[in-house]
Amino acid sequence: MGVMSHETIYKALFVQGRGQLRAELHQCLRSGRAWRRSNHAGGGARKVRISNMISISKRPAEVDDRAVPGHWEGDLIMGSNCRSAIATLVERQTRYCLLVGLPDGHRAELVAAALIKTIQTLPAHLRRSLTWDQGMEMMRHSEIKLATDLDIYFCDPHSPWQRGSNENTNGLLRQYFPKGTDLKQHSQEHLAAVAAELNGRPRKTLGWATPAEAMARLLSDPEQPIVATTD
């Protein structure tokens, strides 16, 4: 029998957690997020088709094993009534995160402009790919790719484990930005301070280095390898 992958385990816990097991798992999590209900349980949002998507199945193997830096995962944290948002970006090798305020909402043109402005500040060797889910906010992904030279890949529907580093970070961020609050009140300076706090936490996956230290090494010496696990 082959070794069960971490993705299979994560998916099983995410989709199948029920009853007492579900409650116990939630108690053990450090994140401040609530358990989400599967979209398959009934109802569900109308499916949106984004043109010219490239599936995560086409993503190079170097992204999966975190051997090469510059591959990012992204998502949105939504504010009250979905009127404001924060875009979260996590670099897969270092777990370094960037937070981008979207005080006026998450329309595709606003998200594209904000991501382009942020990603263009990164050096070329840290701009290789971005993995996102199939939300309407990425309808203008072609513009982002053109402006930043990032390859953009889309997760399968209802598969948050395919961008697990970002999903875990979003859970931690809910300690700072609880659900139901207006995210417009947080300045970009405050978002940068929150990101710096998370980036200053030692990570077992980095041999107890911090994401900030790992990123600093990449910026000073792009050829220096970072020891990171695939977890």
Stated length of the chain: 231
Distance CA 227, CA 163 (A): 20
Give pLDDT tens digits for 142-201. 999 999 999 999 999 999 999 999 999 999 999 999 999 999 999 999 999 999 999 999
Give pLDDT tens digits for 104-129. 999 999 999 999 999 999 999 999 99
**Would you say the C-alpha torsion 111, 114, 116, 118 has a positive or negative sign?**
negative
Query: Is 99 within a domain?
Result: yes
The continuous run of DSSP H or E covering 190 comes out as helix 188-199
Question: pTM of whole model > 0.85?
Answer: no
Query: Is 24 within a domain?
Result: no
Query: Is 189 within a domain?
Result: yes
From the CB of residue 212, how many other CB atoms can be counted at a distance below 10 Å? Answer: 17
User: Coil, helix or strand for 76?
Assistant: strand
Query: Is 35 within a domain?
Result: no
Number of domains, the chain = 1
Distance CA 224, CA 222 (A): 6
CATH number of the domain encompassing residue 65 = 3.30.420.10
Structural domain including 145 reads 53-220
The DSSP letter of residue 151 is: E
AA letter at 206 = L
